[in-house]
A and B are shown apart, each in its own frame.
Chain A
């Protein structure tokens, strides 16, 4: 292969086999606590080339994460990194490289992208870099969800340049003025020949663990005493083509606290209060909802199909008093209607047809989509629901637009490598909530779940007081709103000692609530970890406000001052907490015996796999300037003529002249292919059937039918089916539908043909309201119930009674 052609030189073009791997493996280890994760990532670099190497590994930070330090280990040396202002660290690294020393630099860029550069790895040398970082988690009432990026998804940006450099290998370059000198990895469709990844984590929940599962990787789970466990990859190795996602569930839903004395003489704590502590939601007032759907090329296939179904199912829980809007976006924005419309049956039908016509393709101009949705919402108390994979660049600009809009954004992230860090910030900064799903989970039920939680805050005007905690105060202002399924998190500090309690007050509907939560500060190791996690969270929040690239083009006056202020704040936070940020980087230089300054290292960028659910062709197009374009167009007729004469001498048939590959010309630097099915269509499950059925609910809450009795029967049968899948008026993704059905059945029960029938309906209503779902029923049972033909009459009522009894 051509030595100079690729900056990575990993695959041999002829054989397609791995040639030389600059980074051999990545191993993740560390501790998962109820309030966050403390991680150690081991990178193994080896030079199998004849010249010294400079290897660059690019990765994305998890949510609320920051780099702490690294240790670099080789034959006969071990050195720790130092935290220095970015420019100073960069100069030190450059100087080290020039002098022939082993040099390493970990620097954070925009969107939480990191470049770990290791320069002057000698031929045959093995170098290990152990990188320490702290990362936040996605809190749930009953535990947490942890996500770690093993791959870096390509991202959309107007000015990004993307190209397929050879079959199955894509390169993406971001404009330096906006993104600095960050290097992105080559993306490989076939990850088989890439570095190996693996993990082995210990989980300390501080409460009995019900289970640890993963929708992304096969796990080996080993209990390690009460409230602790070890989880590791059950296979020997894996490939970097998707993020690691772990779900940790506690047996009991209760407030969790982590805290202890930190090194600065103060105690730090983080308390997670489950949302159920704030009671149950009241009936919802009429509201305005705008759905914002990402239909870019990277959403093609199952994600978009399921997202459409989810929007449809969400609409069915709204009443005619509610107003709806719908915006679909890729590089363009498309509105269903120019204004919000009442959620009538007719409008829903029109929107459903509109949804069906949507296809995936194109870029991701999320900021334009948000602006259009905000304009549509018209400044009223509207909720915005965004479904996107968030694979965009310059997210700080989008965050700025969204914060200024003053509208609550709820986000559902979709994909194997959706930008979790960004979508979390987007929801949090606008007062909304977020969730993400991986390709092996259902988008539609997750969307319904989010919709059900987000529409009705459980508690508002939440106030936390620290009077019962000596020296207690908040490190970060806690959220003032609590949504179902999303715990309240309080991060604070206090005097060292036994601890105390937090006093939490809030408003719910017309009443108020009050709760005391104990704060224990006895964890000797936890104090320092909690402190670091709080620092990482603060740094992430400030970094999300840094829009420009400090080393890029200077920005105009006021803007520049603001950016300088943020950088100064970040530098201060970095120094206080000992964590890297956009202002400070980690650097280490090792002087080895026999370092040779006369050889320039060859720079290689470590490739990663395309996220398993992202279509390669939705980002990378064939090169525009392949050699045939260099044959001048006016030569072609002449060449054809020549050929005709040539071949006349060879064969007897008239000759077909050669066809020349026309170079493709593109207006946009990124072009996108028409979407095709990425996943094979899965057979419809009971959940698919339920999703379709609930989408048919009329604005009065019942299913359509030929008569009042028919409607009553059909609606009751649907309620039985929902109870049989575990949904009641309080729990499950279909809880809003259950509530609507219950309201309808209460009103319509008087139309039952006799007392026995009325009692049957009333029994069902009571059961749904009491939250008694009944024993979960097999899939076939649901399907049989939904396909049951319910011609009104005594026989139908008897059948309904049989189904209902099966719930017991």
Chain B
């Protein structure tokens, strides 16, 4: 048993998991399941595929859609790829100016943005002070 586990065909994986072949290919196309090490006749699927299929079934039973399963599998690192903003920091630069910055921007980028914001804040403040003096 243990010797053959790492070399199933798609049909064998389908039979073991009770998931139709087309569904497995659909999951692979959606990135929910890693592809085989080889396709076609010599295709190789292993216990990790079986385990992942079980995991997907469990999540579906909890009411998750496939796109949600995909997000859960991708983990936090995928957050930046999503069209939905994670969170926004809301910087009040002056009384009449606020700037929103995405909270998941990279550290280096954030540093740059903050530099510019500081410049902007300083510039606006200097303007105000000049007006007050006049």
* Chain A bound to chain B: yes
Which residues of A are interface residues toward B (Cβ below 8 A)? Answer: 2-7, 13, 54, 56, 90, 94-95, 97-100, 117, 161-163, 165-167, 171, 173, 175, 181, 183, 551, 596-605, 622-628, 630-631, 643, 646-647, 649-661, 669
Residues in B neighbouring A631, C-beta threshold 8 A: 86-87
B8-50 CB contacts (< 8 Å) to partner A: 9-11, 14, 19-23, 25-26, 28-32, 35-36, 38-43
B30 touches A659 (CB 8 A): no
Which residues of B are interface residues toward A (Cβ below 8 A)? Answer: 9-11, 14, 19-23, 25-26, 28-32, 35-36, 38-43, 60, 63-68, 70-72, 76, 78-79, 81-95, 98, 103-104, 114, 117-118, 121, 125
Contact of B117 among A598, A650, A658 (CB under 8 A): A650
A98 touches B84 (CB 8 A): no
Min CB–CB distance A591 → chain B (angstroms): 14
Contact of B40 among A597, A646, A658 (CB under 8 A): A597
Min CB–CB distance B126 → chain A (angstroms): 12
Min CB–CB distance A155 → chain B (angstroms): 15
A603 touches B22 (CB 8 A): yes
Known: A181-B19, A599-B40, A625-B71. 17 other contacts (CB 8 A): A56-B22, A162-B65, A163-B68, A165-B65, A598-B42, A600-B39, A623-B84, A624-B68, A626-B71, A626-B82, A650-B118, A651-B91, A652-B125, A655-B91, A657-B89, A658-B87, A658-B103
B10 touches A98 (CB 8 A): yes
B63 touches A669 (CB 8 A): yes
B22 touches A181 (CB 8 A): yes
CA distance A649 to B60 in the complex (A): 47
CA distance A626 to B83 in the complex (A): 10
Nearest B residue to A604 via CB reads B29
Min CB–CB distance A590 → chain B (angstroms): 17
A54 touches B76 (CB 8 A): no
B42 touches A643 (CB 8 A): no
Contact of A627 among B14, B79, B94 (CB under 8 A): B79
Nearest A residue to B128 via CB reads A652
Q: List 27 A-B contacts (CB under 8 A).
A: A7-B30, A13-B83, A56-B26, A94-B10, A97-B21, A98-B11, A166-B83, A173-B60, A183-B26, A600-B25, A600-B36, A602-B25, A602-B28, A603-B22, A603-B26, A623-B68, A627-B84, A627-B104, A646-B114, A647-B91, A649-B118, A650-B114, A651-B91, A652-B125, A656-B98, A660-B103, A661-B84
Knowing A5-B70, A600-B25 are in contact, say whether A653-B64 is a contact too (CB < 8 A).
no
B90 touches A659 (CB 8 A): yes
Knowing A650-B91, A653-B95, A658-B103 are in contact, say whether A628-B28 is a contact too (CB < 8 A).
no
CA distance A669 to B59 in the complex (A): 13
Residues in A neighbouring B84, C-beta threshold 8 A: 622-623, 626-628, 661
Knowing A98-B10, A181-B20 are in contact, say whether A601-B25 is a contact too (CB < 8 A).
yes
B40 touches A98 (CB 8 A): yes
| A-B residue pairs, 7 tightest by C-beta | A4-B31, A597-B40, A627-B79, A600-B39, A658-B89, A603-B29, A163-B65
Nearest A residue to B104 via CB reads A627
Contact of B30 among A6, A627, A628, A649 (CB under 8 A): A6
Nearest A residue to B98 via CB reads A656
Nearest A residue to B67 via CB reads A165
CA distance A631 to B88 in the complex (A): 13
A661 touches B41 (CB 8 A): no
Residues in A neighbouring B95, C-beta threshold 8 A: 653
CA distance A654 to B93 in the complex (A): 10
B36 touches A653 (CB 8 A): no
Min CB–CB distance B70 → chain A (angstroms): 7
B89 touches A627 (CB 8 A): no
CA distance A625 to B71 in the complex (A): 7
Knowing A161-B65, A163-B68, A171-B67 are in contact, say whether A98-B9 is a contact too (CB < 8 A).
yes
Knowing A161-B63, A600-B39, A653-B95 are in contact, say whether A630-B22 is a contact too (CB < 8 A).
no
A161 touches B87 (CB 8 A): no
Most A CB contacts (10 A, CB to CB) among B28, B92, B95, B125 go to: B92
B30 touches A651 (CB 8 A): no
Nearest A residue to B20 via CB reads A181
A628 touches B89 (CB 8 A): no
B83 touches A603 (CB 8 A): no
